[in-house]
Amino acid sequence: MKTKTFFGLLTLAGALFMTSSCQQKEEMPFRNPDLPINQRIDDLLNRLTPEEKVQQMMNQTPAIKRLGIPAYDWWNEALHGVARAGKATVFPQAIALAATFDEPELYKTFTLISDEARAKYNHYQEIGETDRYKGLTFWTPNINIFRDPRWGRGMETYGEDPYLTSTMGMAVVRGLQGDDPHYLKTHACAKHYAVHSGPEWNRHSFDAEVSPRDLWTTYLPAFKALVTKANVQEVMCAYNSFEGKPCCSSDKLLIEILRKDWNYNRIILSDCGAINDFYVRSKTTPRHETHPDALSASKDAVLSGTDLECGNSYRSLIEGLKNGKITEKELEPSLRRLFKGRFELGMFDPKERVPYSKIPYEVIESPEHIAQALKMAHESIVLLENKKQTLPLSKTIKTIAVVGPNAADSTMLWANYNGFPTHTTTILEGIQKSVPQANVIYIEGCNHTATTLKEDLGASITYKNKKGFSCTYYNNKAFKGTPVYEGIAEQIRFTTGGNTQFAPNVNLKDFSAQFEGTFTSPVDGPVTLKVEGNDGLRLFVDKQKVAEHWDKDYNRSKSYTLNAKKGKSYLIHIDYFQKIGNATLNFFITHDVPVDYAGVAKQAAQADAIVFVGGLSPRLEGEQMSVHAKGFKGGDRTNIQLPDVQKKMLKSLKATHKPLVCVMCSGSALALNWEKKNADALINAWYGGQEAGTAVADVLFGDYNPSGRLPITYYTSIDQLSDFQNYNMTGRTYRYMTQKPLYPFGYGLSYTTFKFKNATLSKSILNPGESVDLKVTISNTGKQDGDEVIQVYIKNPNDPKGPIKALKAFKRIPVKAGEQKEVTLAIAGDAFNSFNDERQTMEIRPGKYEVLYGSSSADKDLHSLRLTIK
């Protein structure tokens, strides 16, 4: 009875507040930017009803109109550029950024990204849009350790090494959060905490088991660095369990380590739907099932420190407050952290007080940002092989054949968690622009994995004797009223990414469209009709509905197989409506034809050189995907070989005896054994962003000297790896691997040569915790300017269970041909840390250590100096 009265009084209070004037709102203490933040938070919390408090702990927070507080969605992404919110500069994928080994330029890159983030936020605030992907809280970087090349999301990380991941991760955080003394530019988020590196298919039920040693020396260092050194504002707890408890309710991870040991007092949030995994029972998707219901799961998560839920399980806390199973006092620490974050972003302050509110929309994809995307793409490219100096190719080449599934694919270059650039230069386009006088023969040749190619039959669709579809648009979601545009579309390839309309006078959102055309089949047999788009779509053939998706979704594709008769006509009709996010609609009509290896080789043999552009695709590897091709499972891989169809194509091209250059695009390591032996040159170009085509062409023709370094080990096969679900680090990565890899961590060739000499340490005897400087002279002994990446590893013979060697410093240095430079690298005192298995703590042990420096982690590329710790 008391509870009902309490809620009734609060409801009455809410009604009274609804009558408040704008002037009264401005006078509320929480809106006074001159008051201490804690005082402002106290005032605001006192004004909220219990239900409103709970609602503010979920990513989609509703508006509180009586207080003048707009709705806010915490979910936003900026993995390698502002994502999923229209036009943005698309930089290389994170794993490619790691390959630059260029911390200062990574910091600059994310400073530009946060400029675009603020510009977008300022724009959306002006037009009153507050839905998903329009806020200032970015759930990046992903600093999980890429411990196994089979993990599909490894491309989102900064590689396999804790030090490289820590260093690059801190640069990302500092670039995103800015350096203003009063306001944060945006929030960065360290994810996924912790021990989360695949597999994707069982992440909602997987219980990661690791030794204390591996936990503290491999899986936690980057999180500790971002929390204790970079002041990261958010930490996302992972889907998986750790030691039998879901990470988002792990008292060891969240309370003992994060809150107490590291004194973290900022926001912890759940991965999306992670709280549901505590209690949802599912036959199709195994879950943790550690809790009986939503309330017990939500209460456990909150009391463990998970302040914000991405999802809707926390709604159960409203009933929990009513029946006394949780109290407002128990919610208060989370609410204080959440509102502190929003106050520090300036969300409740006059915009003239917030310096970042002045960043204009014009910075988005500006020439400076595009130039930086090109610079990072340049620096990320790793030259793996260059036999007989095949590269660079001559710019006077007469004929060049460009073959492969990634040559003309622009969206592949965007990777995942991407924005939408206004233009992407494909690798084919980059080559064509670099040698405009050459005859460039382009042949797709083969798919990534299939033994058939999809022949485009779109030219066989007409409407009233005109090529393409009729299109009719309405500025509503119901196909009603007077159309705002009617016309002909030769093909259906539309997106409002980049604020581009589908057609003149058509809204960017809340619109519907109808398309109709007649397909006259040029073939007998199966024809695939595929339509993909977010929100609502329906596909009809001869007025019969054959595929449908009529609900909101980020992206969904539907396919239908038509058993066509040559010469017969079929009426195709598509209905589409847009509701959330950027509108996307693509239609493809294709016929499968067998890959013609001999025919492709015959065409390519006419060229003076062949460039094969293959590898993987973000449509094959990534986050929890429905991929069923051989060698792939749920976004992960079951082997690391290049798919058979591509290897067979390469063998046919090799038989032409023409110079064969392989450009591999992927987000992970490939076991390129045949390619290493048989290709005349081999390049890893990753997923290089919107300027990747220019960058690759610049490397191929010598306008840029490649200087990227591998942030991951390339294995010869999965036989060099333990079971994917085994998180033990024994034998994994360069730090523990005793077998010879295909290519070592830190490896990358150049068109010039470098030598190291005159290396000295500033001290030869250290006290525990003391730092030391390494000075070394780098000489460019070749004929071309280039960048060298000097890497410093520590070998610790005092810890026989520890890493064989571990990266502890690095620096990218530009050196002109014939020039030499003296370089100083600081080695921090904690570089000599060891793990004490008995005490389960890190310590620095007395004894002799080796300081190894050179151009990769391979022993043959390293030189040694010795020092002693007393």
CA 217 to centroid of chain Cα atoms: 24
Give the C-alpha distances (Å, rounded to integers) separating 566 from 460, 539, 549: 11, 21, 29
Q: Are strands 681-684 and 660-665 parallel, antiparallel or unpaired?
A: parallel
Residue showing tokens 């599934």: 405
The CB density around residue 76, as the number of other CB atoms within 10 Å, is: 25
Asked if 66 and 28 count as a contact pair (C-beta separation under 8 A), the reply is no
Q: Is 356 helix (H, G, I), strand (E, B) or coil?
A: helix
Asked if 623 and 616 count as a contact pair (C-beta separation under 8 A), the reply is no
C-alpha span between 371 and 694 (Å, rounded): 11
C-alpha span between 620 and 450 (Å, rounded): 12
The CB density around residue 46, as the number of other CB atoms within 10 Å, is: 9
Burial of 65 (0-12, 13-18, 19+ CB in 10 A): exposed
Asked if omega into 70 is within 30° of 0 (cis), the reply is: no
- Active-site position among 115, 365, 621, 799: 621
C-alpha span between 72 and 628 (Å, rounded): 38
C-alpha span between 595 and 403 (Å, rounded): 13
- 770 in catalytic set: no
CB-side exposure of 292: number of CA atoms within 13 Å? 1
Asked if 688 and 92 count as a contact pair (C-beta separation under 8 A), the reply is yes
The CB density around residue 283, as the number of other CB atoms within 10 Å, is: 5
Burial of 528 (0-12, 13-18, 19+ CB in 10 A): middle
Say which DSSP state 810 is in. Answer: E
Asked if 221 and 179 count as a contact pair (C-beta separation under 8 A), the reply is no
Q: Are strands 207-208 and 241-242 parallel, antiparallel or unpaired?
A: parallel
C-alpha span between 816 and 386 (Å, rounded): 21
C-alpha span between 135 and 132 (Å, rounded): 7
- Active-site position among 271, 379, 680, 691: 271
C-alpha span between 153 and 667 (Å, rounded): 8
First to last CA, the chain: 70
Question: SS3 helix, strand, coil % of the chain, rounded to 5?
Answer: 30, 25, 45
Which pair of tokens denotes residue 831? 């570089």
- The alpha helices in 235-315, defined as continuous H runs, are 276-279, 294-304
Backbone conformation region of residue 289, classed left if phi is above 0, alpha if psi is from -120 to 50, else beta: left
C-alpha span between 120 and 136 (Å, rounded): 9
Q: Starting at the edge strand that comes first in sequence, how are the strands of the sheet with 862-869 ordered? A: 765-766, 862-869, 847-854, 786-795, 806-815
- 271 in catalytic set: yes
Residue showing tokens 């589409």: 576
Please, what sign has the CA dihedral across residues 474, 480, 486, 489? Answer: positive
Asked if 198 and 151 count as a contact pair (C-beta separation under 8 A), the reply is yes
- Catalytic sites, residue numbers: 271, 621
